[in-house]
Structure 1
Amino acid sequence: MPQESGAAASARLAVIGAGAIGGYTAALAHWAGLDVTLCVRAPLDGLTVESGGEARAAAVRIATDPARTAPVDWVLLTTKAQDTAGAEGWLRRLCGPGTAVAVLQNGVGQEERVAPLVPKGTGILPAVVYLSAERLAPGRIRHHVASELHVPEGPLADRFAALLSGSGLQVHRVPDFTTAVWRKLFTNLAANPLTALLQQRMAVFADPGMVRLSRDLLREAAAVARAEGADLGEEDITRTLELYAAAPPDGGSSMLYDRLAGRPLEHEFITGAVVRAGERHGIATPLNGMLLTLLRAVDRDLRAGRA
């Protein structure tokens, strides 16, 4: 776990959302010496992150009322994609002249989701998140593996990398973000729906039949991704399956954690993104379409409190 840097609080950072990604990134930024405010719906007693067998508290400032906040240098939006609109109150208060917003969410089209919710001219940096963490309880996060953020290269990305330098969050600037965001979608595309629907952890991918099903799901999506302009092929499918095989057997997916906690699912921005893009391009996606139908049924029960 990164150690306290002792650096002066040279930048003001607000993190919207105290889930696994938000809590973990807020803690690492705080330990790196940044002035961090964690923006949440309900009060928290504190923030603790478990990583590598060690539990450590992060004394971040916790805010529950947008009206009591002021503009900051950077905003990290870490809510689930389906909760983006609900963050508008925070975004309007936290964004001032010079504020930049980094969108740490699954799915594609992060910039388009956020642009209507922030003042015109606000810099928006979409980020692909490679980070496995689990929210065990309010304010308590367990980090499993990885701490990478992939962003489209450019001046805003350079500023973001400088902001998080020394935090333990590795910022990679990529020239082809369309490919990067679809490649990340691949990592979620089979693992998230299948673990959530089966309520099983990553050990399920030791089953050869599950591997074959995953490969077929990814092949459907690869055709759609290429139509969207991403440079993805069979090697990306193989790489994704190797990632599943190498994952800790007791690890899970964000969608599984949401279902176990009784929270709404993110299916419309993962599986739904593939199905809708397939429809736009006239590409059939029967397997992903089937999963989307099942996920919608589960989500309806979760929202009604029946699951």
Structure 2
Amino acid sequence: MQRIVVIGAGAMGCLFAAKLALAGHRVTVADVDQARMDAIAAQGIALSLDDGDFAARVGACPIAAVDGPVDLLILFTKGMHSAAAIASAAHLVDTGCTVLTLQNGLGNTDAIAAVFPRERIVWGVTDFPADLHGANAVSSHGQGHVWLAGLIPAADARARHVADILDGAGLNARFAPEVEAMVWDKVAFNSALNALCTLGQVPVGRLDSAPIRRIVSTIMDEIAAIARAEGIAFDHARTMAKVDFALANHTGHKPSMLQDRLAGRRTEVESINGAVLAVAARHGLAAPTLELVTDLVRLGEPA
């Protein structure tokens, strides 16, 4: 049994916390939303999957109230909150815990490395869909996976151990040395699909049409050029295959960017789309379709 702390009790944080708790680990979630913390502490997390409904007993408290020992710390906040969230967990550095991020966007590992040693940081991506319902209920329908590796080679042994823990909880996790390219795949995927779902206020399945696919493919071409300028082995066909998988298997899923828009919250557009455009600007590259879609999402952001 591992002592696992999940920072961020949104849809993905609740999904992973519940799956890990059901696998027998001691799990605590930490969030700044006190009402959510109260609900989880009192009732646990209600998890709805394709194979049934489950109730996971999970601890909940402010991160400042968490003390050692901690084996694994998972950061699952939105990208714009990463720096503040990981700084609030600085008191856990001395526990020797591994820190994992599967967050969307770019820059999350930099925020973690400002607090925790790089040789203890594991990063990766997941394509699990998750939708939050109320304070403490989450659903995930359709297959998903996790791919991860150490941020530096010295962290790879920890990454393999984390992959075993997640895989044992039914999270289909694998060690993937090529994870940096996969992070860019996910950023490209989210820059297109999450933004378009948000603009149309529709779930993923509604994007499955020839006109929208043309927009998605154009955005992928633009991001491919940006990634390659960064030295990333970006594969357009591989990313489009992930788009096809999502359109076929996650038809009813509302991406987190859309969920935030519907709830009147700020979205992650700056840590996903905006971060890619910042890299493009650094290399003097134009990405007109990505920039247009991003600006339209920005138009709907709360003041």
236-245 or 286-295, which deviates more: 236-245
Match of 1:144 in 2: 141
**TM-score by structure 1 length?**
0.88
Task: For residue 95 of structure 1, give the secondary structure of its aligned residue in structure 2.
Answer: helix
1:80 aligns with 2:74: no
Structure 1 159/237 Cα, relative in aligned 2: closer, same or farther at 3 Å?
closer
In structure 1, the residue corresponding to 2:187 is in which secondary structure?
Answer: helix
The SS at the match of 1:45 is helix
Corresponding residue to 1:45 among 32, 39, 61: 39
In structure 2, distance between residues paired with 1:179 and 1:160: 20
Identity of aligned residues (%): 30
8 Å Cα contact 2:148/2:163 also seen in 1: no
* Superposed counterparts of 1:233-244, under 5 Å: 233-244=235-246
- Is the alpha carbon distance of 1:68 and 1:163 closer, same or farther for their aligned partners in structure 2, counting shifts above 3 Å? closer
Q: Answer with 172-181 or 242-251: which moved more.
A: 242-251
Cα distance in 1 for residues equivalent to 2:213 and 2:167: 37
Contact 2:70–2:95 (8 Å) recurs in 1: no
1:19-98 alignment, distance < 5 Å: 19-41=10-32, 42=34, 43-46=37-40, 47-52=45-50, 54-64=52-62, 66-67=64-65, 69-98=67-96
Contact 1:49 1:140 in 2 (8 A): yes
Greater alpha carbon shift after TM alignment, 200-209 vs 240-249: 240-249
Give 1:54's aligned amino acid: G
Q: Please tell me the residue identity of whatever aligns with 2:218.
A: D
| More moved, 235-244 vs 262-271 | 235-244
Inter-CA distance 237–17: structure 2 relative to 1 (3 Å threshold): closer
Match of 1:111 among 109, 112, 136: 109
How far residue 198 of structure 1 moved from its aligned partner, in angstroms, is 1.4
| Residues 1:100 and 2:98 aligned together | yes
- More displaced 10-residue stretch of structure 1: 91-100 or 79-88: 91-100
Report the Cα offset of residue 254 of structure 1: 1.6
1:146 is paired with a residue of what secondary structure? coil
- The answer to whether the aligner puts 1:125 opposite 2:119 as a matched pair is no
Moved more, 125-134 or 138-147: 138-147
1:215 deviation in Å?
A: 1.0
The aligned residue for residue 6 of structure 1 is: none
1:186 and 1:240 in contact (8 A); partners too: no
Q: Could you tell me how far apart the structure 1 residues matched to 2:149 and 2:18 are? A: 24
Deviation of 1:132 (Å): 0.3
2:153 is matched with none
Distance in 1 of aligned mates of 2:86 and 2:251: 37
Shift of 1:123: 1.0
On the 8 A contact 2:129/2:250 being kept in 1, the answer is no
| Aligned counterpart, 1:5 | none
- Structure 1: gaps (5+ residues): 1-9
What is the CA RMSD across the aligned residues, in angstroms? 2.0
Determine the structure 2 residue equivalent to 1:158.
Answer: 160
Instruction: Name the one with the larger helix percent.
Output: 2
CA contact (8 A) 1:51 1:144 kept: yes
Q: How does 1:181-220 map to 2 (within 5 A)?
A: 181-220=183-222
How far does residue 216 in structure 1 lie from its aligned partner after superposition?
Answer: 0.9
